[in-house]
């Protein structure tokens, strides 16, 4: 519910939260992986040569590392709680269209949000 967070606490604080999430993701992945902001409050983590069960485990580790952070508003020193994240995980099925791959990850993400948020859901490509 990041839009609500921004509306309540302001976009400057929201930007700091985005930076905290990005930093936590970058620190939590291996050197050959890539974490990137995908848009708004969405991030993508690309894990080359990683099997789906290992990617799901890493997503859970990242989710817990982010949830362990406490948010303190610098200007007021007020504790405003913690961040939770939902993750959608899938694997690329060569030679599929990259759009199908991204759409499957999105489907898994929305499944996680529908399941109550702060969880990891995954989808296998068809035929695997």
**Stretch 53-59: mean pLDDT:** 98
**Stretch 8-34: mean pLDDT:** 93
Catalytic-residue membership of 96: no
Written as six digits, the tokens of 123 are: 């989808």
Show the 3-state SS of 4-28: HHHHHHCHHHHHHHHHHHHHHHHHC
pLDDT for 75 = 81
End-to-end CA distance of the chain: 33
pLDDT for 59 = 98
Q: How confident is the model at residue 1 (pLDDT cuts 50, 70, 90)?
A: confident
Q: Which of 28, 105, 26 is nearest to 61 (CA)?
A: 28
Which of 41, 42, 51, 96 is catalytic? The answer is: 41
Q: If 0-12 CB within 10 Å is exposed, 13-18 middle and 19+ buried, where does residue 72 land? A: exposed
The position carrying tokens 């040569």 is 49
| Per-residue CA distances from 23 to 10, 35, 62, 66 (Å) | 20, 9, 11, 10
Write out pLDDT tens, residues 67-111. 999 999 888 889 999 999 999 999 999 999 999 999 999 999 999
Please provide the average confidence, as pLDDT, over all residues in the chain: 93
pLDDT for 95 = 93
Q: How many CB atoms sit inside 10 A of residue 39's CB? A: 8
pLDDT for 39 = 86
pLDDT for 128 = 62
């Amino acid at each position: 519910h990041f839009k609500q967070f921004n509306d309540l606490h302001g976009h400057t604080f929201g930007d700091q939260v985005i930076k905290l999430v990005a930093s936590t993701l970058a620190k939590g992945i291996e050197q050959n992986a890539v974490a990137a902001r995908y848009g708004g409050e969405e991030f993508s983590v690309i894990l080359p040569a990683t099997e789906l069960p290992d990617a799901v485990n890493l997503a859970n580790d990242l989710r817990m590392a982010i949830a362990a952070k406490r948010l303190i508003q610098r200007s007021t020193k007020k504790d405003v709680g913690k961040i939770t994240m939902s993750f959608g995980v899938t694997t690329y099925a060569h030679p599929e269209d990259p759009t199908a791959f991204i759409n499957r990850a999105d489907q898994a993400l929305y499944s996680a949000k529908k399941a109550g948020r702060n969880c990891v859901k995954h989808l296998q490509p068809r035929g695997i």
